[in-house]
Copies of this chain bind each other. A is one copy, B any other.
Amino acid sequence: MANQNVLIIGGGVAGIEAAKGIADLGYKAILVEKRDRLGGNPDEQQYSVLTPDRRDASEALSDMMAPILDNENVDLMYNTIVTGASGSVGNFKVKAVSMGKEVEIEAGAVIVATGFSHFDPGRETQKYGYYEHDDVLTLTDAEKLLKEHKFVRPSNGEVPKRICFIQCVGSRDRQIGNEYCSKVCCGISSQQAIEVREQVPDCKVYIFYIDMRMYGYWENEIYWPAQEEFKVNYIKGIATEIVKKGDRLLVKGEDTTLRRPMEVEMDMVILAVGMEPSEGTKKMAEYFGLKQNKYNFIETIGGPLDTVSTTVPGVYAAGACTGPADLEDTVSAAGLAAMKALGSIRRNGNA
């Protein structure tokens, strides 16, 4: 007889949504999370607001996770790290260290929801001087400042008069091996640009980009308002170097529309860092024997018609552990993974 429980690894957006779905259908979800709280990257990295609806991130996440807290169908295991796995669909045995103790978790199916890490702009590329210049930030650094409503220059505490975003840091970059586009950075940068203009109305904001990938409704919900209402300046151009000039930053590069070199002084520069598989994602692939793609994200099978099945029956992957994903992708995939996980248990047991 197949074990009827679904183990969900990772308590971010994908994991929360999957647990909710499984519990709603009367099955048991066991959700393991390495931290002592749910919420994944948006919580850990202290996102200010969500993209594209600009709702307060903490509030939106709280509402989202409420149904699985104190839910008799959801076992939440915090401070728990998966360390190994055996078995197959219907009868997985997963080893973990939970609150410092070794435990074994049994489940009929598994949903891996271990997400992504932000690209480290110090890795293999020092051209932007992230670790040299205090006023060079990443999107996640900027989120924290915006969340606290303290958008000031880290170097001197002053309110910036002129800032820019540089797109595609760690994405679309063959030299560092990340040829893919990280999908969300154009939208998130634009959203942050709007927030900067709201919090610091006198600050001029520039975005240097290759293509603005404001797909679907992001075009009308973020891109148009950013330009028209919030006067964000979009410049098709590539920044190649950031150096110090006095107490400001000099961004060197090329304006590809005007086809000429550009050198612009900025008070702060925000690097739109892309997505890479998290450590947890790589480890789960190893423990469960899941095929990974060349970027080490978990490979899904079935092309565009199956976004969650892995090479191992009974193990599904949802959200950014399979590659760059926005919140919509993640939530939708979690639903599909929950459905398929329960389906696999029913087919392989006598439920």
Give Cα distance in the complex from A246 to B325, angstroms: 48
Interface string of A118-153 (1 = CB under 8 A from B): 000000000000000000000000000000000000
Check B332–A216 contact: CB distance below 8 A: no
Check B335–A339 contact: CB distance below 8 A: yes
Pick from B256, B329, B346: contact of A328, CB under 8 Å: B329
Nearest chain B CB to A213's CB is how many angstroms away?
5
A307 interface residue per 8 A CB criterion: yes
Interface set, chain A 216-230, CB cutoff 8 A to B = 216-220, 224
**Which chain B residues lie closer than 8 Å to A238 at the CB level?**
none
A331 interface residue per 8 A CB criterion: yes
Nearest chain B CB to A187's CB is how many angstroms away?
10
Nearest chain B CB to A23's CB is how many angstroms away?
9
Give Cα distance in the complex from A342 to B55, angstroms: 28
**Which chain B residues lie closer than 8 Å to A303 at the CB level?**
50, 52-53, 55, 60
Give Cα distance in the complex from A212 to B25, angstroms: 41
Check A183–B216 contact: CB distance below 8 A: yes
A161 interface residue per 8 A CB criterion: no
**Which chain B residues lie closer than 8 Å to A336 at the CB level?**
17, 21, 331-332, 334-336
Check A24–B343 contact: CB distance below 8 A: yes
Pick from B181, B257, B307, B337: contact of A257, CB under 8 Å: B257
Specify how many copies of this chain sit in the oligomer: 2
Give Cα distance in the complex from A119 to B145, angstroms: 43
A115 interface residue per 8 A CB criterion: no
**Which chain B residues lie closer than 8 Å to A287 at the CB level?**
none
**With A304-B331, A305-B64 as contacts: A342 and B25 at CB distance below 8 Å:** yes
A198 interface residue per 8 A CB criterion: no
**Which chain B residues lie closer than 8 Å to A339 at the CB level?**
21, 24-25, 335, 338-339
**Which chain B residues lie closer than 8 Å to A219 at the CB level?**
172, 179-181
Give Cα distance in the complex from A340 to B17, angstroms: 11
Nearest chain B CB to A173's CB is how many angstroms away?
10
A26 interface residue per 8 A CB criterion: yes
Give Cα distance in the complex from A297 to B17, angstroms: 24
Check A305–B332 contact: CB distance below 8 A: no
A333 interface residue per 8 A CB criterion: yes
Interface string of A190-218 (1 = CB under 8 A from B): 00000000000000000000011111111
**With A211-B211, A331-B307, A335-B337 as contacts: A324 and B25 at CB distance below 8 Å:** no
**Which chain B residues lie closer than 8 Å to A21 at the CB level?**
336, 339-340, 343
Check A346–B25 contact: CB distance below 8 A: yes
**Which chain B residues lie closer than 8 Å to A235 at the CB level?**
none
**With A211-B212, A328-B329 as contacts: A220 and B307 at CB distance below 8 Å:** no
A244 interface residue per 8 A CB criterion: no
Check B217–A215 contact: CB distance below 8 A: no
A97 interface residue per 8 A CB criterion: no
Q: A52-B304, A217-B323 are in contact. List 16 more A-B contacts (CB 8 A).
A: A17-B305, A24-B339, A25-B343, A26-B346, A50-B304, A53-B303, A53-B304, A60-B305, A181-B215, A183-B215, A211-B211, A216-B324, A258-B259, A307-B328, A307-B331, A335-B336
Can you list 17 residue pairs at the A/B interface with Cβ under 8 Å? A24-B339, A24-B342, A25-B339, A60-B303, A181-B215, A181-B216, A181-B218, A181-B219, A183-B215, A183-B216, A216-B323, A259-B259, A307-B332, A331-B336, A332-B333, A332-B336, A335-B336
